[in-house]
Amino acid sequence: MITIWVPKRLVEIDLYNVAARSPQALADLSEQSYAQRIDYAAQKVQLSGAKIVMLTGPSASGKTTSAHCLAKALQKRGTPAQVVSLDNFFKGAEFYPRLPDGTLDYENPDTLDLPLIKQCLRELSETGKTVLPIYDFSAEKRSAEVEPIDLQGGVCIVEGIHALNPELTGLVKGDDIYRIYAGLREEYCIDGRRVINTQDIRLCRRTLRDAAARGRSPEKTLAMWDRVLDGETRYIKGFKTTADFLLDTSFTYELGLISKLLGVVRRQFTLEGHNAELWDETARRFEHVAPLELELLPEDSMLREFYGGAADRRAQNADV
């Protein structure tokens, strides 16, 4: 099978700023481009004949929402599709491996019940049916409840950071699996000098989401970032080349949404020390970016995974 690959592209911030003078047109074009990429991915999945799609990507790549968007695209094409999150296979906090400093290693694949994953995937491959566990995140342990699943001749999309790890699919025939890696492919420059890379975008996505939707200070998100990146290097990026398809989750107009929110969050929370320096350095990368209003964000946009909380809060304030 030939891998469908997408090279990174470098966009001049000045060109973005010109396009941002017509914000609605830029937003519409960005959303349409992503929808076309999703539809193309659905087409490739159908042509592969696979029963199971393993979809992964680094933190804040948009893999979770993209998995659901892909399921909808497959359904529109006449293929039943369901999404399964690997998060439901967590063994529980008491079983998590630890890092050398004694802290829990949340990125390690051994946080998952690998034998049970293999069993469920094999059953889906052979019969189209299985019974999935349910994880209780509030109690940090597996629930007593389970969830039966029947593919009805369709496709199961399994999403999670370890989805491309061959340890998970060892009992499934190769032809029954199609592998997708979700990642941003657009970076930004000034006079050809890269100033905003995909990692910067992902850090902003995660930090702004946590601040708006969960009320979490950037302090906590930033403190975890180095460990997240280390986990990606150890457990995710090494399997990137095994993917059959690279799904681009970039949105050009997102640059302006981030620019708009950075100042809001910086005023909302007080940061000190290294984390403050990291956040200020990240914010400076966007100082030449024309901000865009959150009202541009459609209700069904993949980006609502990250900015929906901020957009909804702004709408509520406007109604008061």
Show me where the domains of the chain are located.
33-183
Question: In this structure, how many other beta carbons lie within 10 angstroms of the beta carbon of residue 181?
Answer: 27
The tens-digit pLDDT sequence of the chain (320 residues) is: 555 567 789 999 999 999 999 999 999 999 999 999 999 999 999 999 999 999 999 999 999 999 999 999 999 999 999 999 999 999 987 888 888 887 878 889 999 999 999 999 999 999 999 999 999 988 888 999 999 999 999 999 999 999 999 999 988 988 899 999 999 999 999 999 999 999 999 999 999 998 876 667 788 888 888 889 999 999 999 999 999 999 999 999 999 999 999 877 877 777 777 777 888 888 899 999 999 999 999 999 999 999 987 766 655 555 54
Separation CA 52–CA 245 (nearest Å) = 14
Contact 256, 20 (CB under 8 A): yes
Look at the block and give the residue holding tokens 């998100």.
221
Contact 249, 126 (CB under 8 A): no
Helix, strand, coil proportions of the chain in percent (round to 5)?
50, 20, 30
Contact 78, 205 (CB under 8 A): no
As its CATH architecture, domain 33-183 has 3-Layer(aba) Sandwich (3.40)
Contact 174, 48 (CB under 8 A): no
Contact 134, 87 (CB under 8 A): no
Give the pLDDT score at 24: 98
Give the pLDDT score at 320: 41
Separation CA 41–CA 72 (nearest Å) = 12
pTM: 0.92
Burial of 78 (0-12, 13-18, 19+ CB in 10 A): exposed
Contact 242, 116 (CB under 8 A): no
Q: What is the DSSP letter of 178?
A: E
